[in-house]
Chains A and B, each alone.
Chain A
Amino acid sequence: MSGALRREDVAHVAKLARLLLSEAELDLFTEQLSQVLEHASDMASLDLEVVVPVAHPFGLINVVRDDEVRPCLDRDEVLAMAPDAQDGRFAVPRIMGEAP
């Protein structure tokens, strides 16, 4: 686990997270994240095969709502906060690929 975080991993993760890092930041984050993960290595090395992660701490299940229509937001109010809008829709610069 320790020292396992490489610069390329950090660069790849930055891409996944839509963040642009400078070379200096890449170095800094690699070092800092490594330290945090190193610190977590005490936990990572435990054998916890039988432990099942718990969902809600107090066991809530089946929380649902009725299928009823409720008032929604006013379109003008919503589009007023948009960085760019046109024809009642949110405008974005061109999309490079199809949705996954």
Chain B
Amino acid sequence: MRSAVRIAEEVRSGASTAVAELAGALEVVAARNEELHVFLYVDEEGALAAAERVDATVASGGDAGPLAGVPIAIKDNMCQRGVPTTCASKILEGWRPPYSATVIDRLLAAGAVPVGKTNLDEFAMGSSTENSAFGPTLNPLDTSRVPGGSSGGSAAAVAAGMTPLAIGSDTGGSIRQPASLCGIIGVKPTYGLVSRYGLVAFASSLDQIGPFATNVTDAATLLEVLAGHDPMDSTSLPEAAPSLVEHVRDGVAGQRIGVVRELIEGADDEVLESVTRALAALREAGATSVELSIPELRLGLSAYYLIAPAEASSNLARYDGVRYGLRVDADDVTAMNEATRTAGFGAEVKRRIMLGTYALSAGYYDAYYGQALKVRTQMIDAFARAYREVDLLLGATTPSVAFAFGEKTANPLTMYLSDVFTIPTNLAGEAAISVPFGTGEGGLPVGVQLLGPGRSEARLFAAARVLEIADGRP
């Protein structure tokens, strides 16, 4: 598949058209979606209208944008006006939002062509897409295995060659982990870099929208389009989108890399091997390295599995059958709320709502949620101390390659552990990227993770580019 940057150049120059590119994408979707279950909804009509607008702009001599004509897949927890947005949940089945997320507006303004909404773990809660109310997505590289989650559909769309780009959301690793399991690039930007307006909230203080791509330059191009202040999101950073593409070729000479013990311990051997080789590649390109230990990171899982469900329990209260979505009738409104939510939510969502409600409830707040907030502050401080010694951190993205369906569903805790390396970044609000590097069991891809302080995306892309080249993808 050609890169997004290449497609956009060809569409802008007239060598190709947006409509033709869309047709190509839809062909692949048609060929593989039934088997892989990537898209919950393919918006042929809307995509065609967008493609035609791009071509009209080009024809009239206008600038069709940095993503002109590039087909893109959208995770189905982002509102797109008039298009079904289900969050892979029965409680929103059939709901069409009357407004679009800011990121959708930005993508359209950049000439991108949203093709459809991809599958996810219900309300973004999960690490395998097995929690979708509408069935799981299969990993295109091995259909007996999960694509990861919660943005499994978006990762699979790119890995299957359906669209060169996709966007997902990352709360505890939900972009980076599927990227790793599907062998593509996935970025969790600095908290506040990308607007959350229109992203159906899971955990408000942790959620960020980010790019999936097959290569670093595409990911940087897409992130530039998504990023920048949004007056509709009070938590968005005040500055305009940073310049990222121009730094992709900066290299890593003189960069200090910290290899964090807590971000590799417990990973499978083949994953460790990739991290080791990745470090070597960075050093060969002129970086220095040091081994670090950040013990505070060990508390990340516990803190996350209290903070995220607590915020989620509140964010998901609005699904009460009153104004939109599913309603199961009853004699009184409370009974209706209960019947609706019980029928509409899957088990994992219920579990997290319960956990979160408990963590916030009177008498338990200080011991659980209050404590988790303090742990989070400690983690932020710990990262800050580390970044005084180094410029970037290196670790694994997730402990293993793609696992089989049903392998981790018996005990929720088992699934939660796959987020152990990604969660700290969300808690700290900082940036991280998963880069495919090497393969493991059965040729399945391994991803390594580069982490940086807030607003360090340029530096991360530069290092990711070095790894990309070293891994044979110039």
Contacts and interface: CB of A to CB of B under 8 A. Distances in A.
B358 A13 contact: yes
A52 B375 CA distance: 10
Contacts of A63: 234-235
A92 B371 contact: no
Contacts of B66: none
A32 B207 CA distance: 25
Contact of B330 (A19, A60, A78, A93): A93
A19 B345 CA distance: 9
B313 A17 contact: yes
Interface in B316-375: 317, 320-327, 329-339, 341-342, 345, 350-351, 353-355, 357-358, 361, 367-368, 370-375
A73 B97 CA distance: 11
Contacts of A74: 98
B293 interface: no
Interface string A16-60: 111111000100010011011101101110101001111011101
B369 to A, nearest CB: 10
Contacts of B234: 60, 63
A93 to B, nearest CB: 5
A14 B313 CA distance: 11
B299 interface: yes
Interface string B99-125: 100000000000000000000000000
Contacts of A32: 351, 411-413
Contacts, number: 165
B191 A94 contact: no
A93 B361 contact: no
B192 A16 contact: no
B374 A1 contact: no
Interface of A: 1, 5, 9-10, 13-14, 16-21, 25, 29, 32-33, 35-37, 39-40, 42-44, 46, 48, 51-54, 56-58, 60, 63, 65, 73-74, 77-78, 81-84, 90, 92-96
| Closest CB pairs A-B (n = 6) | A57-B429, A83-B327, A53-B373, A43-B302, A40-B302, A51-B374
Given A32-B411, A42-B299, 15 more contacts: A10-B358, A13-B354, A17-B313, A19-B353, A42-B302, A46-B299, A53-B373, A58-B454, A63-B234, A74-B98, A81-B96, A92-B322, A93-B330, A93-B332, A94-B331
